[in-house]
Structures are given as structure tokens and as C-alpha cells.
Amino acid sequence: MKYLIIISVFAFLFSSCSDNKKFWEYKVIYYTGLNSRDGIEAFKYQSITPDDAELTKLGEQGWEIATSYLEMETAFPNFGEKAYHTGIKENVRPQRLVIILKRLKGVYSDKKK
């Protein structure tokens, strides 16, 4: 009985060490806001919207979103003078949306349809 348990444990350990490892490839895409950081545009609202068609196309190629984050910026209103700085620094807004995608390596090809 003792040998049967030892053999079972070793069989389990060796079966879990198989070569079924998954390897991933990654892609990073960026969407940048359109407004300037200084001058009158520093006061403008800024939002960043990803392109649905591009994301759908990437999904059809096997890519899935692993994570995403916003890079924030502080816009400085200088009222038209590059040398003038008001000290206002609370105008924080999104500068760029970063999306990191992943897919199984070697499964998909990027052939254009």
C-alpha cells in the first residue's frame, strides 16, 4: 500500500510537469487626445475613445485585451504666452489611452483577408 501511494504521488507530479505551457505574444496600441496642453486648449474637456472597428478587427485576429490604463497630463493655461505660467496645476486630464493586447503565440496568422 505504501508503494502504491508513493507511485501515485510521483505519477501525479510527473503528469503535471507536461509541456502544455501557453506562450503569449503581446501588442500595445495607443489612442492620444487631440487637444494641446497649453494655451486656450488647456481649458477644453478631453476624452479619448478607442476605435471600435480597429478593436473588432484585432479581436478577429485572436487578440484580447489584457489590460488598459490612462496616461494623465496636467495642462497649463498660459493665455497665449509661451513664457507665461499661471501656476494653475489642477487641470489634470487624460493624455493617452494605452491598451495592451495578448493572444496565444503561433496559433493565429496575420494574413489579410
Cβ contacts of residue 61 below 8 Å, gap of 6+? 103, 108, 110
Number of structural domains in the chain: 1
Question: Residue 76 domain-assigned?
Answer: yes
Q: Distances from the Cα of 39 to the Cαs of 83, 84, 89, 93, 96, in angstroms?
A: 11, 10, 13, 15, 19
pLDDT-above-70 percentage for the chain:
58
Cα-flanking dihedrals φ and ψ of residue 87, to 5°?
A: 85, -5
Question: Residue 13 domain-assigned?
Answer: no
Cell numbers at residue 105, please? 503565440
What digits encode the pLDDT tens for the residues 77-87?
A: 655 566 665 55
What digits encode the pLDDT tens for the residues 37-59?
A: 666 666 677 788 899 999 999 99
Question: Residue 17 domain-assigned?
Answer: no
Question: Residue 42 domain-assigned?
Answer: yes
Question: Residue 113 domain-assigned?
Answer: no
Residues in a beta bridge with 29: 99
**pLDDT for residue 71:** 87
What digits encode the pLDDT tens for the residues 56-75?
A: 999 999 999 999 998 887 76
